[in-house]
Structure 1
Amino acid sequence: MPNLIVTTCGTSLFTNGISNELRSEFFKYANHRHWADMPDDVVLRLQQHAELQQQKLLVADADVVKRMSAELNSLLSWQKDKQMHQQDMHILIATDTALGKATAETIENWLQTQGYNVTIISTSGLNTASLQSFREALSGLIPLLIEQVTNYKDSGYQILFNLSGGFKSLNGFLQAFSTIYADETFYIFESSSEVLSIPKLPFYFDTTQIISAHLTAFRRLAAQLNVNKEETNQMPSILLFSIDDEVALSEWGELIWQSSYKALYKSQLFPSISNRISFAPNFESSTKDLDPFILKIVNERIVDLAVFAEGDCKSVLKSVDPKPLQEKQYKDKNLWECDLDPHHRIFMVKDGYSFSLQYVGPALH
């Protein structure tokens, strides 16, 4: 079975064994997102050092590689006596900093020389400059990571998390994330060369009760729509955080929602989340015999249409593509359609910035 290995990246590759003066500069500019934000002389020194470390890494033997990089030390120690698969895939999580991205790119280059396929992912604000920005970045990272992990899991991959590199706040959260999605998590134990491996825990993370109790709020918050304070006041505070005067799903709220909504949306048709989206009398009955996958999309489109309508129909996701039907027999009725998949549509009547969903049916072309 091939492996998907998700690795958090820090900057140990650049900071191990360097002078105090250079180390001081690394720490001073650790959270700067762009090289252009740093003095030219500092950029020159840091980039020269990074280039030198990359050259050393690419020609180093395994023992030297392990001394140079915490991420690769953990990976190579875990791989000892294991047979790797030619389809193994690596995802590197880089911080949103110039130095963090440079580290991830160097590790990517080394892994590629070993014959591995590698992808680097990150999200805006994934650094330690601001707690609020960091939490927003985690909320953005979750759906991206879940999509990757789920796709590989469905393709027969074993999911592994290598959490030796990176900063503690990120790894602490991903440790919790990995208990849900990873088959195994590993990292180097303290300063030794021993690998601490944590297998998948034998329990099911059931969030149905808490989501069902606050379903409309979850759906609106996940779509970045406003929610009444009365609704959010009843939700556990750990699931939310405030941005200025607005409330959003916290990283934990996002994790719970992203882990659960697909199965939930396959189970039944859920009500509209907006007073601008209504159901005609025959709409619900037209969804009764739908395949669960199509039903999931219907529930998703109801939310997408709410976002479209509450934004006064000014912008819309390309996958939704709401448009009026041009044939005369439909045009006279102001009938519109919304894409579900190549073969199914939601047909609806538009009235100002509101839509009445009439029925789900086959595409007309």
Structure 2
Amino acid sequence: MENRVVISTVGTSLLTNQINRSESKESTWFSQLSGVTNLKLDEIEKNHPEVVKILQELKNRAENKLKESNTQQIRRISAELNGIYGLYEEEIQRGKQDIHYLISTDTYSGKITAEIVENFLKTTGVVNTNIVKPSGLSTANTQKFSEGVDELIDFLSKQKENWQGYKVCFNLVGGFKTLQGYLNTIGMLYADEIIYIFEGKRAELITIPRLPIAVDKTLIKPYTVQLALMDTGALDKSEVEKIPEALIGDVDGKKVLSTWGKLIWDESKKDLLSDELLDFPWLDYQDIFRTDYKKIKDWREKVQLHETLAKVSYLLEESNGDTSPLKKDYNIKYDPYEGTDNIDHFRVTRALRISCKKMDNGKLSLRYYGSHAHVEGKEFKKK
């Protein structure tokens, strides 16, 4: 049987469904919960302390109901579990070897709900279950939502390489409709199938298989350098005028990758950053550096190198050629090579280095690339 990675969006209906609306004392609970939907625990404790007790009571009710209910009742109680049970044709033990991610909003209500679902799955033997809570993800405003989705896309992009041999399933039965809409589109690139539940008496599973679509990378290849720089920070409007508008967002008058731009970039950068060495502003490549680049066999190493070059280029542009920001960046760790003729170096990874020299025109001339032993050996051999 093929193993799966199951990504489930999580809402808060599991909590609100526990409200007994026929009880007069609970008649305002739903509106009270709606008022704190996008808040974290400290905000609720400060401004709505009575709601903390309500949430705890609803949490206890939900946990007890799940513990005491049969499969059909469980499916009615939780939209998220309804999708998961439907996926496994109600034999949830079939998911014991699978990987489950529960996508929660960065809110107290979302956290509670995701933890209830996580704990329930683990008690059924589905132990490889993890909550993913992108920082700031909520429906409070467009900016927070977009930033949260961007972080989620980044997470999915990094995890994708670990999913080789797994069937990736997006379970969008639960969760907020806004997030479901975005995940539906993201799933077209990341998922092998997307599942919903037909809202009828029989609660039938609807499976949407992966469509044969792919990003046309030729359309964005001419803008690879700008896109790589925007993946690092914001650019001026004049620098991105020819890039398709759908890929660009605006923050304080500067241009960044939009949510869709981030999605397209993450899907494309493997090809765009693993080909020829790209020319970035403020960087000059000596022939020996180009030779070292051509020796790289692993596409991942080329991508990581280009991402580092983009970051160095961006920081130099922001500082007008001043290397001080490079020295302050923990990952780059720009330092001089003591005992050399003004040769400096910086990190790509803990194991990989680039040696360089500041030129009279303000640019950095990149010299050698490779392991610490290779780069240092070449530079000190020249002494």
Gaps of 5+ in 2: 22-26, 320-324, 375-383
1:288 CA drift (Å): 1.9
1:313 CA drift (Å): 2.3
Root-mean-square deviation over aligned CA pairs: 2.3
Deviation sequence 1:98-157 (CA, Å, 0-9, x none) = 101110011011011111211111223311110122112212221112212x13322x21
Higher deviation after alignment, 3-12 or 47-56: 47-56
Which of 34, 37, 42 is the aligned partner of 2:51? Answer: 42
Task: Report if the CA contact (8 A) 1:9-1:103 is conserved.
Answer: yes
Partner residue, 1:126: 137
Partner residue, 2:263: 255
1:280 CA drift (Å): 2.3
Is 1:323 equivalent to 2:335 in the alignment?
yes
Is 1:109 equivalent to 2:122 in the alignment?
no
Whole-Å Cα distance in 2 between the matches of residues 70 and 38 of structure 1?
30
Indicate how the Cα distance of structure 1 residues 349 and 179 shifts in structure 2: closer, same or farther if over 3 A, else same.
same
Partner residue, 1:142: 153
Indicate how the Cα distance of structure 1 residues 246 and 228 shifts in structure 2: closer, same or farther if over 3 A, else same.
closer
Whole-Å Cα distance in 2 between the matches of residues 339 and 132 of structure 1?
31
Indicate how the Cα distance of structure 1 residues 38 and 197 shifts in structure 2: closer, same or farther if over 3 A, else same.
farther
Which of 12, 23, 38 is the aligned partner of 1:31? Answer: 38
1:265 CA drift (Å): 1.4
1:76 CA drift (Å): 0.4
Partner residue, 1:93: 103
1:341 CA drift (Å): 6.3
| Structure 1 counterpart of 2:258, one-letter code | S
Is 1:164 equivalent to 2:177 in the alignment?
no
- Within 5 Å, give how 1:343-358 maps onto structure 2: 344-350=352-358, 355-358=364-367
Deviation sequence 1:260-282 (CA, Å, 0-9, x none) = 1022211221111x32x322243
Is 1:306 equivalent to 2:313 in the alignment?
yes
Indicate how the Cα distance of structure 1 residues 217 and 26 shifts in structure 2: closer, same or farther if over 3 A, else same.
same
Higher deviation after alignment, 347-356 or 1-10: 347-356
- Within 5 Å, give how 1:1-365 maps onto structure 2: 1-16=2-17, 18=19, 19=21, 20-34=27-41, 35-80=44-89, 84-116=94-126, 117-148=128-159, 150-154=160-164, 156-192=165-201, 193-203=203-213, 205-224=214-233, 226-272=234-280, 274-275=281-282, 277-293=283-299, 294-309=301-316, 310=318, 312-318=325-331, 320-326=332-338, 328=339, 331-340=340-349, 342=351, 344-350=352-358, 355-364=364-373
When normalised by structure 2's length, the TM-score is 0.85
Indicate how the Cα distance of structure 1 residues 81 and 60 shifts in structure 2: closer, same or farther if over 3 A, else same.
closer
When normalised by structure 1's length, the TM-score is 0.89
| SS state at 1:267 partner | coil
Gaps of 5+ in 1: none
